[in-house]
Structure 1
């Protein structure tokens, strides 16, 4: 019986010999394939294979994917990747590690980094490795447990000689991808896995996304002004400044800090004995700061600000009959000063 570690060692940097063939996918559901992604303001790179199939060439971590018509879909030299979905003449260039593949075809197109298999949450076999034949070649079949409990297990067919993943099917029968035909060991020019023409970088994509978002914002803002109101909508809003927590900093002097609002909080207030020295507070510049004869006060609101009437009402309730006589200097201390 073949051990899982033998399969893993064979496939971890595979395919060890070039593989070229036709890959077809299936998705037996009316629900769309959803691909969770993480990006930094740019459009994520998602490779999708249509049901008509694609020609796939693999050599180690390098891959080339074309439509059967010959139109390029995806290239990678093992580190950099080029995606041709949006513009066949100017592909999106990104790091291979930033590429997502929709559906189960990922294992057929991209060799995961070695670290993928040593993580604590990596997909582990649910049973023994089986020796099978696929495309007329000796292969291994292994079922991997889902990485998340709400996902089905996936069965891989791995070529025993090259380590190439030749098929992947979900245990629920919904998704699948497999080489329909393949040639092994035919030398491939490394140049077919790279692109030296015009490209769109991640930064280019980010700028496009930002420009599109700004265009949408302006368009909807113009619509609001034309269809709802073009008036100034600065209006007083009621803030509940009832403390949700209170820290007595010095009971003898009456110094305290307090936070108000639910959740992460809507703001803070603080008081100290009146002083001419700068008030170092980690909250930084206060929304409002003032002094009475005996105390310095500061208040921060994270949403909105105070209008004069609102601030006057807050002061009257905090120290009734004790008028404002000045303003302290409130600053955020330099961490380097803290030693």
Structure 2
């Protein structure tokens, strides 16, 4: 009986003799698939999936080399261990890249690709469950290994359910993975026919025709994005020429909900924040004073995207300041808010407004609404 390490090493090395056959892949669960990938701007990942409309593919493997075709013989994927070619339905020429840059989505990865050694140190399925068992599959002796996550996932802890166990079946003679099951069999891939082949020439696993390199793929998507921006500008220009020439300034009614409040009960000072989606309204109150309102420094990356309009006034025993992002309030809106804040007290001109900067304090403009404005 082999130990777990021997089976994991076989998964990394791939079949030790050429093998081929037809595989079936399925996924009968409602939970969506998640794909995480980080890259430089404009770089497009090469994503391989065995999930096809007819569920069947022909796979030929020899060590790290692999060839995948549809049941009708159309090419899907090639790799000679040094380069990888992916054939896409939306493009006439395949994409060529390094094998380690191929991303896989869906079930059946171990049937099609060899795993890097460090993948088993970082991936989700690394904890053996029970011993390696000897079974028979497709009339051939196989080893069956069950793997679980190293620790319960957040989803399983939240639902109080055990994590899914991945089952992998390995052909003893060839060391090829012949089946992989997840979610108690609701998702998986398996060989329906399996053959040992004679030594195959490298040409079986390569593509001699035209292919799109990583650099060409990046340039294609950059051009596509540029075309999209150009078409958007042209559409905007047409609208301005034929429908509405200038920008529109309209009063808009929004419901702002209270998000936070800081209160000093001794002085009556208040700092409250309200929001309506991404728009923010801040209401500040302090005991009446001749000192200016002083705002903290604004971050450089915040100033351009979140411009604020400020309104200051005094009423009764307090000074008031109102700040709103991305827009301005008209006189009726300010008067309505003043009636809500201090209905029995008339507003008067308020103190000046200033903002702190690294070089000192700078005065900034603010509207000081008066009674009846």
Q: State the TM-score, normalizing by the size of structure 1.
A: 0.67
1:165 aligns with 2:170: no
> Which whole-Å CA distance do the structure 1 matches of 2:92 and 2:31 have between them?
23
2:346 pairs with one of 321, 325, 329: 321
Deviations along 1:120-139, one digit per CA (max 9) or x if unpaired, are 84254433211245567653
> Which whole-Å CA distance do the structure 1 matches of 2:296 and 2:186 have between them?
66
Q: 1:76 to 1:323 in 2, by over 3 A?
A: farther
1:91 pairs with one of 82, 88, 95: 95
Structure 2 residue ranges without an equivalent (≥5)? 239-247, 360-373
- Write the mapping of 1:7-26 to structure 2, written as runs, cut at 5 A: 7-11=7-11, 13-15=12-14, 17=16, 19-26=18-25
CA RMSD of superposed structures (Å): 5.0
SS in 2 for 1:53: strand
> Which whole-Å CA distance do the structure 1 matches of 2:334 and 2:96 have between them?
53
Q: Which residue of 1 aligns with 2:63?
A: 59
> Which whole-Å CA distance do the structure 1 matches of 2:83 and 2:284 have between them?
53
Q: After TM superposition, give the deviation of residue 25 of structure 1 in Å.
A: 0.2
Which entry has the higher C-alpha Rg, 1 or 2? 2
> Which whole-Å CA distance do the structure 2 matches of 1:17 and 1:251 have between them?
80
Q: After TM superposition, give the deviation of residue 52 of structure 1 in Å.
A: 3.9
> Which whole-Å CA distance do the structure 1 matches of 2:358 and 2:255 have between them?
28
Q: 1:211 to 1:34 in 2, by over 3 A?
A: farther
Q: 1:117 to 1:55 in 2, by over 3 A?
A: closer
Deviations along 1:202-229, one digit per CA (max 9) or x if unpaired, are 674577589779989x99xx9xxxxxxx
> Which whole-Å CA distance do the structure 2 matches of 1:65 and 1:332 have between them?
62
1:75 pairs with one of 74, 78, 94: 78
> Which whole-Å CA distance do the structure 2 matches of 1:24 and 1:116 have between them?
24
- Write the mapping of 1:1-339 to structure 2, written as runs, cut at 5 A: 1-11=1-11, 13-15=12-14, 17=16, 19-27=18-26, 35-38=33-36, 45-48=47-50, 49=52, 50-60=54-64, 62-76=65-79, 81-85=84-88, 86-91=90-95, 96=100, 99-102=103-106, 104-119=107-122, 121-122=124-125, 124-132=127-135, 138-145=141-148, 153-160=165-172, 163-170=175-182, 171-172=184-185, 175-178=188-191, 180-183=193-196, 186=199, 188-189=201-202, 192-193=205-206, 197-199=211-213, 201=217, 204-205=220-221, 208=224, 234-240=250-256, 243-248=258-263, 256-261=270-275, 266-270=280-284, 274-275=291-292, 279-280=296-297, 287-292=308-313, 295=319, 297-301=321-325, 306-315=329-338, 317-318=340-341, 320-325=345-350, 328-330=353-355
> Which whole-Å CA distance do the structure 2 matches of 1:314 and 1:98 have between them?
58
Q: 1:126 to 1:314 in 2, by over 3 A?
A: same
Q: After TM superposition, give the deviation of residue 108 of structure 1 in Å.
A: 0.7
Contact kept, 8 Å, 1:24 with 1:178, in 2: the verdict is yes
SS in 2 for 1:122: coil
> Which whole-Å CA distance do the structure 2 matches of 1:80 and 1:310 have between them?
65
> Which whole-Å CA distance do the structure 2 matches of 1:262 and 1:278 have between them?
22
